[in-house]
Each structure stands twice: as structure tokens, then as C-alpha cells.
Amino acid sequence: MILTKGLIHNYTKKDDEGNTLSVIRALDGVDIEVKAGEFVAILGHNGSGKSTLAKHINALLYPSGGEVWVDGMNTEDAEKLWEIRQRAGMIFQNPDNQIIGQIVEEDVGFGPENLGVPTQEIRERVDESLKAVGMLEYREKSPNRLSGGQKQRVSIAGVIAMHPGCIIMDEPTAMLDPSGRKEVIRAARALNDVERITILLITHYMEEVIYASRVIVMDGGRIAMQGTPREVFSHVEKLKALHLDVPAATELAYILKKNGLALPDGILTKEELAAALKPYFSASGQESEQGEHVNPGREC
């Protein structure tokens, strides 16, 4: 679905007379391959190049060097530009910047209408898209009366209505509260699981990453790490060196292991952490029944 080969992107800073003052390399030889149906999360601190990469996939930027292919189409092929943007839909941080309709169903139908889709098919696409993100009952509501999470789900529905093969989500929950973030990630997971839409999620919330099939970590415009969430979050020290956090359960497991508990690497959720700690508390309970005072955290 997505392929980059030696992707380079330079931002050039010029003075008022058009003279070049400096050149900043935002992407430096990036090679990635995302297969159809994958859910790939991209991590990186500010300035790592992750958002620049996202804009290349949607052909909002063009390579300074290398190539970008979307569903077999080169993003520098001008004749394929709109087809590429239809195949790779983009969701940005602020849903208010993407919603233009006065009514939810009007907004979702805007994209297909511009593509020349027949009226009856537009209605069908609006219904199926709103249903996919759990917003069908709000179809006749004003977007201005929706919560942040609901607005972002409407934005996603607008992209789905264009029948993309891939949705690029550039920090879609950055401006939302915890409840809104859960709504959006739940919708993204459902689209990937049920509709088999390829999801490329750029985020700095580690708890959102654990549901991805693969994680790519960027630093200085290059790929620093990649693997499954469990593989990547097994390297806590390396992630911290890259100025990145880890999920709360992973952090606690790392601290406990560092202080003596024999816990597995790559614990991602509180449920996994509880299961890993259960033998220690079970052993503690057995010893307590024999009359001995035991501190469950004595190994720490």
C-alpha cells in the first residue's frame, strides 16, 4: 500500500530576496513498506520527521530525493495526484479545520460529491461511513454541537466516504480529552479490524500504540527502531534516550524488573502486568497462611 525508497526531504529557509539562508534535512533516506491491512504507528519526538513523512504519503509534499509510492502510484506523477489523495486519506489534529458542512451528513458527503459520485451512491456512502465510526444517529446534527471526539469521528467518516485504501492519522487525538482519544482510537481499530483499511497512526500517546501491528520510531529524519509494540517497548532505555515515553504499565514493569522482580520484557497493559505479578502475591498469600509476615514487594 505504501512504499518509500531513500526518501529525502529538505526544508529551505530563504531571505526576503530569495537567497538561501539554510537547508534543514527533515527526512534522510527513509525506507518503509506498509502492506494493505496493516495498522502501523509512527513515533518520534518533535522534529523527528514523522509529520513530514505523513504529508509525503498524501502527496502534500514531494521528495527532495528518493521516491514515494501509494498503491502502486508514484506521488510525483501529476496525473495521479487526486487518485493518490483519494486512496490515502488524511486526518489532522484539529477536526474543526476539516469540517465544513453545516450538517454532519452534508460534511461526510462533501468529498464523494466533489469526486462526481452519483447522488444515490453518496447517500449510501454517508450511511456506511457514519455507521463505521458509530455516528449514524448524529447524521442530522450540527457539527458545532458535537464533542471533540465526535467531531474527529465525523472527520474520519468523511475520509471513509471517499473509499480510501489507507487513512493517515497525524496526531488525531492531540487536541482531545482522554474520552475523546478513546473514541477516535476505538474507531480506527474497528476500521482496521472490520473494514481492513490500512491505518498509519502518528501519535505521542504511547497507550494508543499498543494496538498497532507494527511500530516505527523516528529520530533525526531517520528510522531509529521498528518492530511489533512488544518488541519496541522491550527497549525502554533506548526509547528514553530518544526522548520518548512508554506505556504506564511498561514503565512500572521496567522499574520493578530493575529492582529485582523477574518480569518479562514488553509488558504493554495493566492486565498483562497484573498477570505477571500474580505469582508473587500468590506466594505471599501461601506464606502468610503459615503465620509468617511477608512483604509482597520484598524482591524490590
- For residue 15, the model assigns a pLDDT of 79
Look up residue 278 and give its amino acid: K
pLDDT band at 175 (very low <50, low <70, confident <90, very high): confident
Phi, psi of 60, rounded to the nearest 5 degrees: -85, -20
pLDDT at residue 216 greater than cutoff 90: yes
Tens-digit pLDDT profile for residues 130-142: 988 889 999 999 9
Residue 119 vs residue 293, higher pLDDT: 119
- For residue 300, the model assigns a pLDDT of 45
* Mean pLDDT value of segment 199-213: 90
Return the closest-CA partner of residue 165 out of 194, 192, 191, 197. 197
- For residue 108, the model assigns a pLDDT of 92
Mean pLDDT computed over every residue of the chain: 88
Kindly list the domain boundaries of the chain, sorted by start residue. 2-245, 250-297
Give the distance, in angstroms, between the CA of residue 245 and the centroid of all CA atoms in the same chain: 16
- Asked which of 6-15, 69-78, 123-132, 281-290 is least confident by mean pLDDT, the reply is 281-290
- For residue 98, the model assigns a pLDDT of 82
Give the integer Cα–Cα distance in Å for 167 and 253: 33
Give the integer Cα–Cα distance in Å for 261 and 268: 17
Look up residue 212 and give its amino acid: A
Tens-digit pLDDT profile for residues 245-288: 899 999 999 999 988 888 988 899 999 999 999 888 765 555 54
- For residue 285, the model assigns a pLDDT of 54
pLDDT at residue 13 greater than cutoff 90: no
* Mean pLDDT value of segment 176-188: 85
Considering the segment(s) 2-245 as one domain, its CATH architecture is 3-Layer(aba) Sandwich (3.40)
Alpha helices in 115-223 (DSSP H): 119-132, 148-160, 178-193, 206-209
User: Which residues, listed in sequence order, are joined to residue 4 by a DSSP beta bridge?
Assistant: 32, 68
Q: Is 237 helix (H, G, I), strand (E, B) or coil?
A: helix
